[in-house]
């Protein structure tokens, strides 16, 4: 077979694309991955400033204890030997509200008992809440059975409101805030967030929580090395700019506006569905009405991130995240117009040298695309003084708020760098700098919860925009994408081998 002809071409070397590449190459297909940027990894990318390594979008994972779902997936992908660090089992996440401090413990029973000690009147309610999380977590593996990805998740939970479940199950408003308080890792939207998204993400982190020392890019690099060692091909700086088509199927992709051309039998896009569908429409493969439907899907908000370098040996490492709020009723904070800083997440980077001191930390706060859209179209480093002032104003607020919860932060602060959803969009090609992909809506699951299939028989989707976001959600979705090509029985066989 000539070098420009492949069994499968994958567009995008983010986590989902790399995982699909790994599995399909492993089962004997000839796979080509085309990455538009010089760096692979997408949201897993890291960068260095003054000798400090910072993550672009990755901070921790859930469900990595032996036998749990992410452990099972990462065992298959040969990712378990990376420098994972288990977080504090008694308090891997701390929620700070005006009413006090509340720990999240690892393990369903440990989690329930810890919060019951603080909310004894809610003991039975917490049992019911944890039972739902456990049921979702225990049954996630049942998704991998010989059936189509069209029916991989419990549609009843996708079609139920997370907020309605929470308020119906937990009667104490403060406890409602606590249970929702670590959810800067998802978008709390009372009118749209499906119960399945809320329950699955919370469940996986309560099962177990891990960081990785040295940055999330190690995940992408490990997958790349494994893929290439099996004979796969990954090319960087190769932006797919067009599809070629014949008889209603894609036949080839054009790279960098005609500079190169590659043929394949099957195509997978790890790019945003709207980007993919635009290319398919231009090639005459999908109708304009379908293109508009996908383009009109809402994206979740992004993040402003302050990456903080710390003076050596000054600030003890904290093996937990801190989620701090200036007000109660955390569900309302994402939907209200911004009026000052209301919520931050503080995440420490694990020391790589065994030191008890941290070398850096990240401070994150939700930010909508509307807040930065006026600078869209400008180049990195050339956005103007008003953009620099905008970022630094928020950075000052984030640092001041974080200092209230991290003793010694002001004295330990060495330097910082600020990114916005605009930065995130530029470096990861994520539409609107969205942190969690397309906004899922329990009122409209058929339109917002996407499957890997497209109207084109041999073109499929993967990545966090489909079903669930995050490392676990994206890893599961990659399995369902592969199942559309090689069948779910083969996927299950691979995972169980």
How many C-beta neighbours within 10 Å does residue 237 have?
12
Q: Are 205 and 182 in contact (CB under 8 A)?
A: yes
Q: 312 and 418 in one domain?
A: yes
Q: 104 and 210 in one domain?
A: yes
Which has more confidence, 399 or 186? 399
For 151, residues 6+ apart whose C-beta sits below 8 A from its C-beta are none
Is residue 151 over pLDDT 80? Answer: no
The CATH number of whichever domain residue 418 belongs to comes to 3.90.660
The C-alpha atoms of residue 495 and residue 296 are separated, in whole angstroms, by: 36
pTM, full prediction:
0.94
| Furthest-apart CA atoms within the chain: distance in Å | 69
Q: 115 and 45 in one domain?
A: no
Q: 413 and 468 in one domain?
A: no
335-366 pLDDT tens trace: 545 667 899 999 999 999 889 999 999 999 99
Q: 149 and 170 in one domain?
A: yes
3-state secondary structure 41-68: EHHHCEEEECCEEEECCCCCEECCCCCC
| C-alpha distances in Å from residue 422, one per residue of 267, 328, 419 | 29, 29, 8
Q: 327 and 287 in one domain?
A: no
Q: 119 and 31 in one domain?
A: no
Pick the closest to residue 423 from 459, 395, 455 (CA basis).
Answer: 395
Is residue 273 over pLDDT 70? Answer: yes
Whether residue 16 lies inside any domain: the answer is yes
Whether residue 60 lies inside any domain: the answer is no
How many C-beta neighbours within 10 Å does residue 429 have?
18
User: So what's the pLDDT on residue 257?
Assistant: 87
Whether residue 442 lies inside any domain: the answer is no
Phi, psi (deg, nearest 5) at residue 274: -65, -40
470-482 pLDDT tens trace: 899 999 999 999 9
| 3-state SS assignment for residue 5 | strand
The CATH number of whichever domain residue 457 belongs to comes to 3.50.50.60
In the predicted model, what is the mean pLDDT of residues 446-467?
93
The C-alpha atoms of residue 73 and residue 216 are separated, in whole angstroms, by: 16
User: So what's the pLDDT on residue 349?
Assistant: 94
Whether residue 123 lies inside any domain: the answer is yes
Whether residue 10 lies inside any domain: the answer is yes
Q: 307 and 206 in one domain?
A: yes
Whether residue 232 lies inside any domain: the answer is yes
Range with the poorest average pLDDT among 115-129, 195-209, 324-338, 382-396: 324-338
Domain count, the chain: 2
Domain, as residue range, for 157: 88-214+299-433
Q: 388 and 255 in one domain?
A: no
Whether residue 179 lies inside any domain: the answer is yes
Q: Are 180 and 93 in contact (CB under 8 A)?
A: no
The C-alpha atoms of residue 497 and residue 271 are separated, in whole angstroms, by: 30
36-50, 93-107, 183-197, 427-441: range with highest mean pLDDT: 93-107
In the predicted model, what is the mean pLDDT of residues 160-187?
95
Q: 134 and 19 in one domain?
A: no
User: So what's the pLDDT on residue 147?
Assistant: 43
Domain boundary residue, one of 381, 399, 433? 433
Q: 415 and 320 in one domain?
A: yes
Alpha helix positions (H), 27-139: 69-76, 108-118, 123-139
Whether residue 59 lies inside any domain: the answer is no
Q: 422 and 316 in one domain?
A: yes
Average pLDDT, the chain: 92
* End-to-end Cα spacing for the chain: 29
The C-alpha atoms of residue 281 and residue 295 are separated, in whole angstroms, by: 12
Q: How confident is the model at residue 468 (pLDDT cuts 50, 70, 90)?
A: confident
In the predicted model, what is the mean pLDDT of residues 241-246?
96
In the predicted model, what is the mean pLDDT of residues 80-98?
97
User: So what's the pLDDT on residue 155?
Assistant: 56
In the predicted model, what is the mean pLDDT of residues 32-48?
92
| C-alpha distances in Å from residue 333, one per residue of 69, 114, 329, 368, 445 | 32, 26, 7, 12, 24
Q: Are 263 and 296 in contact (CB under 8 A)?
A: no
Pick the closest to residue 254 from 270, 236, 238, 271 (CA basis).
Answer: 238
For residue 264 the two structure tokens come to 């394949």
Q: Are strands 321-325 and 302-310 parallel, antiparallel or unpaired?
A: unpaired
User: So what's the pLDDT on residue 9?
Assistant: 98
């Amino acid at each position: 077979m000539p070098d420009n002809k492949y069994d499968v071409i994958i567009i995008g070397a983010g986590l989902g694309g790399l995982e699909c590449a790994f599995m399909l190459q492993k089962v004997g297909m000839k796979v080509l991955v085309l990455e538009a940027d010089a760096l692979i990894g997408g949201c897993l990318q890291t960068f260095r400033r003054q000798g400090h390594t910072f993550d672009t979008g990755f901070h921790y994972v859930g469900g990595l204890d032996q036998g749990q779902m992410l452990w099972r997936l990462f065992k298959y992908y040969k990712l378990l030997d990376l420098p994972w660090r288990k977080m504090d089992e008694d308090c891997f996440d701390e929620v700070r509200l005006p009413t006090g401090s509340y720990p999240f413990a690892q393990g369903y029973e440990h989690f329930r008992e810890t919060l019951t000690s603080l909310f004894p009147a809610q003991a039975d309610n917490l049992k019911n809440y944890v039972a739902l999380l456990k049921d979702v977590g225990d049954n996630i593996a049942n998704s991998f059975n010989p059936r189509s990805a069209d029916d991989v998740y419990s549609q009843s939970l996708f079609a139920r409101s997370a907020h309605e479940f929470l308020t119906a199950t937990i009667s104490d408003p403060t406890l409602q805030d606590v249970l929702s308080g670590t959810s800067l890792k998802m978008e709390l939207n009372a009118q749209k967030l499906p119960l399945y998204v809320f329950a699955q993400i919370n469940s996986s982190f309560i099962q177990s929580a891990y960081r990785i020392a040295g940055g999330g890019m190690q995940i992408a690099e490990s997958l790349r090395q494994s893929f290439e060692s099996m004979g796969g091909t990954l090319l960087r700086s190769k932006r797919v700019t067009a599809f070629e088509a014949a008889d209603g199927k894609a036949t080839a992709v054009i790279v960098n506006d005609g500079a190169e051309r590659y043929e394949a039998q099957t195509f997978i896009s790890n790019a945003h569905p709207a980007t993919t569908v635009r290319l398919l429409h231009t090639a005459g493969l999908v109708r304009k009405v379908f293109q508009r439907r996908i383009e009109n899907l809402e994206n979740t908000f992004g993040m402003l991130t302050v990456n903080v370098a710390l003076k050596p040996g000054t600030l003890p490492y904290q093996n937990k995240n801190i989620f701090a709020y200036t007000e109660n009723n955390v569900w309302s904070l994402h939907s209200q117009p911004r009026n000052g800083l209301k919520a931050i997440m503080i995440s420490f980077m694990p020391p790589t040298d065994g030191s008890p001191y941290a070398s850096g930390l990240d401070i994150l706060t939700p930010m909508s695309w509307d807040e930065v859209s006026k600078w869209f179209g400008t180049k990195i480093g050339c956005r103007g003084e008003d953009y620099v002032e905008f970022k630094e104003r928020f950075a000052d607020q984030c640092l001041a708020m974080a200092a209230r919860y991290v003793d010694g932060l002001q004295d330990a602060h060495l330097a910082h760098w600020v990114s916005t959803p605009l930065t995130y969009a530029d470096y990861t090609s994520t539409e609107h700098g969205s942190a969690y992909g397309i906004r899922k809506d329990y009122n409209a699951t058929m339109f917002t919860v996407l499957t890997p299939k497209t109207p084109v028989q041999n073109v499929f989707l993967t990545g966090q925009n489909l079903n669930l976001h995050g490392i676990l959600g994206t890893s599961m979705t990659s399995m369902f994408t592969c199942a559309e090509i090689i069948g779910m029985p083969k996927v299950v066989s691979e995972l169980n081998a």
